[in-house]
Each structure stands twice: as structure tokens, then as C-alpha cells.
Chain A
Amino acid sequence: MSEQLPKPPHPYPGKLITVEGIDGSGKSTQLLLLHKWLESKGHRVFFTEWNSSELVKDTTKRGKKNKSLTPTTFSLLHATDFASRLYHEILPPLKAGMIVLADRYMYTAFARDVVRGVSPEWIRKLYSFAITPDMAFYYRVPIEVAISRLLGGTRGQLKYYEAGMDMNLAQDVTESFRIFQSNILAQYEKIVDEYQLITMDATKDIEAQQNEMRQLVGEALKEYKPRRGTHGRRTVFWRRFDVPKPE
């Protein structure tokens, strides 16, 4: 791992902002709120999510269903999904000068796939084609807080793979989740240092966290000039082509 030099920033005019964290850390909520704010500021924003490309979503689903996925095929499928989204969803908007928001990035694989049993060196080489985000947030949360959020709150139950039930860690879903996600938390702690992720305290109130995130993003976007401000464009367009209303 140490032999890998830090990658230079990407050369594109757009900005890439990513969020990481275990299930129940509230990272998706934070990213959604950031999305709303950026749009309200007139930015063009593109959102992309882990394991969502059409190409491999069905395959992953099928593999999970008949339980034939191994740590390596699980990992490779997610890398394929990522590659496909990088090429089709992340790079074009960045080249066009847009802001890209990614719910989970390669760090998810570095944490989760290693816990599932693949080599930490191999997984980093696998993703060596990825570009470095402009800002990578990590929502740090204690395991008990995550569990109580997932059980008590929005979803009401723990999902089979989120709980690592395929790994036979424990009979009980909650206990399995606790073991599996605690291991992932430990991996994230290493990654935070290795890749200098911006650590956020995910135990705070949603608004407090969001304020902090907006401040940091606002600061980072100071120098950023969107290539094409759509609002500006639209006014110009209407001014030039507005048809005079008949009296």
C-alpha cells in the first residue's frame, strides 16, 4: 500500500464531491441536502450512486439471490459498476464543468471488500483507474448509533447483505450487523488517514452537520466558476428570442 503514490488531482473543470460511511451514518441524507443547496445556488449538479449501473445491477441481484457470490466476484462486480459509472456518469459532467455528487466512492470497496476477505493491496490496484475526488467526506458514527437509526428510524430493519449475514458471523441479524459493520468502521479509520478524508461527526443533529458541510463545500467552491450557468444562459436566450406579445 505504501508504495502507491498519492494521485494528482483530476484535470477537469468540474468538481467531484463524495460521501462515505457505514449504513446508518446518515451520509445519503447529508448528500441530498447538499444537492438541494447547490441547486438553489444555481449550480448544475449530477448525482451518482454506488452499485447503480444498469450493466451490473441485475447480475449482482442474481448473484445475491442464489448466494453464489464470492468475496472476489462481489468485489469485481462493484468495480465493474464503478468503472461503468465513472466512464458514463462521472467523467462527462466533470468535463462539462458540472458538480458531481457521489454517494459512496472507491473507499467503500477498500473498507467493505477487505472485511469480506480480499487483499487490501489488490483492491487498491483494482481501482487505480479512479480519479481523486475534490472533496471526500467521511461520516463517522459509533456502531450503536447506526443500529438504533436503522432499526428505529426510516427503514425499520437491517438488510441481509448490509448485516453481512452471508459471512456467518452470527445467527442474529443485529449481532451480525454489529460485528460486520464494526470491522468496516475499523477499515474506514485506516482509510481516513491514508486518503485524507474529511471526517464529519455524524452523531450531531442533521442541520448542524449540514451547516458544517455547506461551509466546507462553499469554501472549496470559492474559486470554482461553473462553465455554463444555466440561469444566465436561459435569460440571455429569452431576451434574444422573446416574441413580442400581441396587444
Chain B
Amino acid sequence: MVDAQYFGDGLTYLNPSDLRGKLIAIEGTDGVGRSTHIEMLQEWLEVQGYGVVTTGWTRSNLMSKTIEMAKEGNILDRWSFSLLYATDFADRLEHEIIPALRSGFIVLADRYIYTAFARDLVRSGNRQWVRDVFGFALIPDLVCYMRIDIETLVLRVIETKGMNFWESGMDLRLGNDLYDSFKKYQSLLIEEFDKMTEEFHFEVIDARKSPDEIQAELRAKIQPLLATNLRSMKLPSDHHTQPAPST
């Protein structure tokens, strides 16, 4: 990301121009298989000699506990809901993502700001505010959107981990029970992800396919990025060395 850019009003105290790595976001609704595929991608990249750092939604040192507490207490208002995620994201951006990119790592992000956009839209019906809030985010080099239809998703989630309160958007009281609510909530999220696909140039991956096929598609999308990564190296002598040792 030689000419890295902020999404909106950026971090005025942090110039993003010297970021040598690549930022790849994997987006998609709950239970679509993002984390499994990110693990496989990491393995694939590391075998090729690329340094990889993964970062996941709500996993920051600063906020993970706070968000857990807030969700347990079930007391979130719409603004705090999005602001807690924004704080978590900012902490990871400044302490994990940007330092890794500066050192030439490939950063695989499990969810990105688009998740926050979709969730906030469903709760507020307003797109502008949450986008302003996340203005400090870096625009990723690539966003892969793992797309699934609601019927397939419902079956898959029931078969695997089951439905939980927040993934069902129970705070919104969209349905009478977990099942109805999950279906309505996730349908709204998928609808919004679909709308954002064009606006933010997502690469759409059909997540109904078999894991092998999905993984192959993801790799095909990422491959061209790796070539430009090598080309864009500032020193010609770097052509013979790999970007960075893995962690």
C-alpha cells in the first residue's frame, strides 16, 4: 500500500505513506467461515515466505474485555454500540495493523469497518455518522466479501455453533424468537453488504461453495496483489529477498 489512504478524516499525527505491506480484509456475515479461511490463507502465504499478521474484530487489548462486559450487561445504546467497536478498531489499527504494514507484513483482517457500517445501518437507518466515525481507517488493498444467502446461512449456523443473542440482533426485537430474529437480522446485514459491494469495490466470493473452492477463489484474488507488492518495493535489491520473516 505505497499510496495508502485514510477512509475519511484520518489520523492527523500519523502519515500513512510509508506502509510497505498489504492490507486484506475478509468480510461477511456471522458464521460464513471467515476465520477458517483466514487460517488457511495465512498458512498458504507463510509457506511462500510472506510475513502475515492477522487481526480480528473486538480482539484488541484495550477493548475486548469491555465489549464482552457491555454485551453481557445488554445495556448498549446505538451510539455506544458503534463507538465501542470503533475504539477497538482504532486500538488495533495503531498498535497492530499500521506497525505491521510499515514492516512489510501482509495483514489479514477478520472483518473490517464494513461490518460496523452494516450493523449501525440496521440499528439507525443512517449511513453517514458511522462512516464519519471510522474516517481514520485505512482503505484496504483488497476486500473479499464472502457472500451467502440467508437460507444456507441458517442451516450452516444451526449445524455448527448455534445462534446467539447478538448475532441474532435480539436487541432490535426483530422477531419473536432467536430463529426469527436471526433470520431477519442477518438478512438485513446481507442486504446492506450487497449494497456496499459496488460502493467499496468488494471482491465477491460465493460462500455457498465447498471450502476448497472458496479457498482457491480467495487465493486467486490475493495472488495479483502479491506480485505488485514485490514490484513496488523501493529498493531494486529487495527483489531477491522476501518482505519479512514470519512471526
B-contacting residues, A175-189, CB 8 Å: none
| B152 beta carbon closer than 8 Å to chain A | no
Chain B 85-108: CB-based contact to A (< 8 A → 1; otherwise 0): 011001100110000000000000
Secondary structure type dominating chain A contacts: helix
**Which of the segments A44-52, A119-127, A226-234, A239-247 contacts the partner chain?**
A119-127
| A237 beta carbon closer than 8 Å to chain B | no
Structural contact, B79 and A129, CB atoms closer than 8 A: yes
Q: A73-B62, A76-B90 are in contact. Are A83 and B77 (CB under 8 A)?
A: yes
Size range of the chain B interface in the assembly:
20 to 34
| A220 beta carbon closer than 8 Å to chain B | no
CA distance A51 to B117 in the complex (A): 26
Partner of A73, one of B9, B65, B94: B94
Chain A 74-93: CB-based contact to B (< 8 A → 1; otherwise 0): 00110110011011100000
Structural contact, A87 and B91, CB atoms closer than 8 A: no
Structural contact, B80 and A55, CB atoms closer than 8 A: yes
Residue among B12, B83, B91, B135 with max Cβ neighbours from chain A (10 Å): B83
| A196 beta carbon closer than 8 Å to chain B | no
Of all chain B residues, which has the CB nearest A87? B77
Q: Which residues of chain A are near B87, meaning CB under 8 Å? A: 73, 76-77, 80
| A70 beta carbon closer than 8 Å to chain B | yes
| A63 beta carbon closer than 8 Å to chain B | yes
A-contacting residues, B58-82, CB 8 Å: 61-63, 65-66, 69-70, 73, 75, 77, 79-80
Q: Which residues of chain A are near B90, meaning CB under 8 Å? A: 70, 72-73, 76
Show the binding face of B for A, using Cβ within 8 Å: 8-13, 61-63, 65-66, 69-70, 73, 75, 77, 79-80, 83-84, 86-87, 90-91, 94-95, 129, 132-133, 135-136
